[in-house]
Amino acid sequence: GAVVSQHPSWVICKSGTSVKIECRSLDFQATTMFWYRQFPKQSLMLMATSNEGSKATYEQGVEKDKFLINHASLTLSTLTVTSAHPEDSSFYICSARGAQGIYNEQFFGPGTRLTVL
Amino acid sequence: GESVGLHLPTLSVQEGDNSIINCAYSNSASDYFIWYKQESGKGPQFIIDIRSNMDKRQGQRVTVLLNKTVKHLSLQIAATQPGDSAVYFCAENKGRNQGGKLIFGQGTELSVKP
């Protein structure tokens, strides 16, 4: 299957700072990328859908000014957590889907563990 | 609101036994479902999918059953192995009007005893 990478795999930051997480599709062009957040022992919660060259569509309750998403190329999307606080500590996972259609498989990245002190 | 949920949060089985993981969904218009396996600290891994025009689909050691009448699907794992220990999620594809986004169920943690 196709490969999606995330960087960094884990990050620790101080409260009030911003953190950028990268999601890359390594061997295919991802017209759509998705960002999820997962708290311990819980399910994946979709945060936003990002289409290349367009503004991201955020799920209800997700602050777009706090979670900045950029999808400037067909192989890279970034999620920036601005002014991070301890409650933002979570496992952030991206997925990427090619241009074949909405029923095409989403390939998931390995996740990024964010800890805010 | 719409949701995809699971009946059992944890499941413990003996190695070699069959495992059945259940999932209920609320949107009768949903037409595409996927099962994922997630190991600790990793991203979800695709297992098998099923469209609403099917009742059953089989893969290697796995079978997914879809009952549209009661809005229920299940994942059956044959001859469960220790490597199958993980959290399993069903996911519902929300269709073209919502960009094909996935909504995940709450998950079932499968523990396989040797």
Per-residue pLDDT reduced to its tens digit, B51-87: 999 999 999 999 999 999 999 999 999 999 999 999 9
In three-state secondary structure terms, B96 is: helix
What is the average per-residue pLDDT within A41-55?
Answer: 92
Q: Is the pLDDT of residue B4 over 70?
A: no
Looking at per-residue confidence, does A30 or A100 come out higher? A30
Looking at per-residue confidence, does B7 or A60 come out higher? A60
Of the residues B3, B87, B101, B108, the best mutation for testing chain A's interface (the one with the most A CB atoms within 10 Å of its CB) is B101
DSSP string, A19-51: EEEEEEESSS--SEEEEEEE-TTS-EEEEEEEE
pLDDT tens across B36-54, in order? 999 999 999 999 999 999 9
> Strands B108-113, B86-93: parallel, antiparallel or unpaired by DSSP?
antiparallel
Q: Cβ neighbours of residue A38 under 8 Å, at least 6 residues apart?
A: A44, A45, A90, A91, A92, A93, A111
Percentage, residues of chain A above pLDDT 90: 83
Least confident piece of the model among B30-34, B35-39, B80-84, B95-99: B95-99
* Rounded-to-integer distance, Cα A110 and Cα A68, Å: 20
pLDDT of B2: 39
pLDDT of B96: 82
Q: Is the pLDDT of residue A81 over 70?
A: yes
Residue B92: closest CA among B1, B2, B4: B4
Least confident piece of the model among A2-11, A84-93, A96-105, B88-97: A96-105
CA angle B23, A48, B89 (to 5 degrees): 20
* Rounded-to-integer distance, Cα A15 and Cα B56, Å: 49
Buried b (16+ CB within 10 A) or exposed e, A8-30: eeebebeeeeebebbbbbeebeb
pLDDT of B74: 97
Cβ neighbours of A42 in B, within 8 Å: 106-107
**DSSP 8-state class, residue B60:** S
Judge residue B70's burial from the number of C-beta atoms within 10 Å of its C-beta, 0-12 exposed, 13-18 middle, 19 or more buried: exposed
Cβ pair A93:B106 closer than 8 A: no
Q: Cβ neighbours of residue B113 under 8 Å, at least 6 residues apart?
A: B12, B13, B14, B15
pLDDT of B94: 87
Cβ pair A49:B101 closer than 8 A: yes
Q: Is the pLDDT of residue B6 over 60?
A: no
Residue A93: closest CA among B2, B34, B39, B3: B39
What is the average per-residue pLDDT within A101-117?
Answer: 91
* Mean pLDDT, chain B, whole residue set: 91
* Mean pLDDT, chain A, whole residue set: 94
- Residues A44/A36, Cβ–Cβ less than 8 Å: yes
pLDDT of B27: 84
- Residues A57/A71, Cβ–Cβ less than 8 Å: no
Cβ pair A108:B99 closer than 8 A: no
